[in-house]
Amino acid sequence: MEVERVQALSLGGLNELPAQFVRPAHERPENSKAVEGISVPVISLSQPAEILVKEIYNACSQWGFFLITEHGISPSLICRLQDVGQEFFKLPQEEKEKYANDPSSGKFEEEYAEELLKVTDVLLELLSEGLGLERKALKSSLRGEEIELEMKINMYPPCPQPQLALGVEPHTDMSALTILVPNDVPGLQVWKDDNWVAVDYIPNALFVHVGDQIEVLSNEKYKSVLHRSLVNKDRLRMSWAVFCTPPLDASIGPLPQLVNDENPSKYSTKTYEEYRYRKFNKIPQ
């Protein structure tokens, strides 16, 4: 029997969570609460380059995650992006299924993509400099202008028993970088020093996740952030995530400049396609 879509279940007026959505006891939010009093890094891109390099290096090596402000993308454009996502989820189920099953729907061409590519270029240059490399090193390793952007819109409807469920289970992203815009309902948590840390909403900020490919290229100097998403009892949570990835046939491995006798290679070189296959099928990398 096909499992009903979460949105359809929510609209049916649930009072109790269906068994298939109840997480194992050790994963439930009620048993793994976020630590209080810790804030994730927030970095303004308007700062001088030397400060940005240091702040982003620290954020990526210690957290694998940070928020950016003053990034140059207008608040009105972000609002339009969010409007498109909200309108999508108001479509009849049959129409939504057509989009969900269309392989091309993950790729998009519009003004937001152009602006996001500019931000991605800046971040990759700063990340490269933080590693002591030439500014274009990481972008070139991801195949430069062939870098692909894929968008995923996540919708987490109100949940009658949020203490028992997760919107998304703990995971790292396969991408090089993930740049995300949420609505104002909190829920994202990142793993830091053996604790979950809740990420506060900041209007118009972009949430930046270091993904697996940057961790590999940096030979683990930068960490791919483990994160999860919670659900809310009363409010709808949404997020607009853009995954910045190399082409499937790009070979990704630790950059030679970062490998030596004291710091040997921690990963084998493989195509992004093979990496994805191994991760999807839970095969060691």
Cβ neighbours of residue 204 closer than 8 Å, sequence gap 6 or more: 69, 73, 75, 78
What pLDDT is attached to residue 13? 56
What pLDDT is attached to residue 105? 53
What pLDDT is attached to residue 114? 93
State the pLDDT confidence band at 61, using cuts at 50, 70 and 90: very high
- Selection from 8-17, 82-91, 146-155, 158-167 with the highest mean pLDDT: 146-155
Write down the domain spans for the chain: 6-11+23-280
What pLDDT is attached to residue 3? 37
Q: Which of 83, 152, 233, 249 is catalytic?
A: 152
Mean pLDDT of 156-173: 89
Class of CATH domain 6-11+23-280: mainly beta
Catalytic residue status for 26: no
What pLDDT is attached to residue 161? 87
24-39 per-position pLDDT tens digit: 888 888 888 999 899 9
87-99 per-position pLDDT tens digit: 777 777 777 666 6
Catalytic residue status for 171: yes
Compare 131 and 84 and report the one with higher pLDDT. Answer: 131
Nearest to 234 by CA among 157, 182, 154: 157
What pLDDT is attached to residue 146? 97
Catalytic residue status for 136: no
The 3-state secondary structure of the chain, one letter per residue = CCCCCHHHHHHCCCCCCCHHHCCCHHHCHHHCCCECCCCCCEEECCCCHHHHHHHHHHHHHHCCEEEEECCCCCHHHHHHHHHHHHHHCCCCHHHHHHHHCCHHHHCCCCHHHHHHHHHHHHHHHHHHHHCCCCCCHHHHHCCHHHCEEEEEEEEECCCCCHHHCCCEEEECCCCCEEEEEECCCCCEEEEECCEEEECCCCCCCEEEEECHHHHHHCCCCCCCCCEEECCCCCCCEEEEEEEEECCCCCEECCCHHHCCCCCCCCCCCEEHHHHHHHHHCCCCC
Q: Which of 71, 139, 173, 209 is catalytic?
A: 173
Catalytic residue status for 173: yes
State the pLDDT confidence band at 4, using cuts at 50, 70 and 90: very low
Cα 146 from Cα 181, distance rounded (Å)? 23
Mean pLDDT of 48-77: 97
What pLDDT is attached to residue 137? 98
Mean pLDDT of 180-201: 95
State the pLDDT confidence band at 41, using cuts at 50, 70 and 90: very high
Mean pLDDT of 233-251: 95
What pLDDT is attached to residue 31? 87
What pLDDT is attached to residue 29? 85
Look at residue 271 and tell me whether its pLDDT is greater than 90: yes
Mean pLDDT of 222-232: 96
Mean pLDDT of 135-147: 97
What pLDDT is attached to residue 149? 94
Q: Which of 171, 184, 200, 233 is catalytic?
A: 171
Look at residue 12 and tell me whether its pLDDT is greater than 70: no
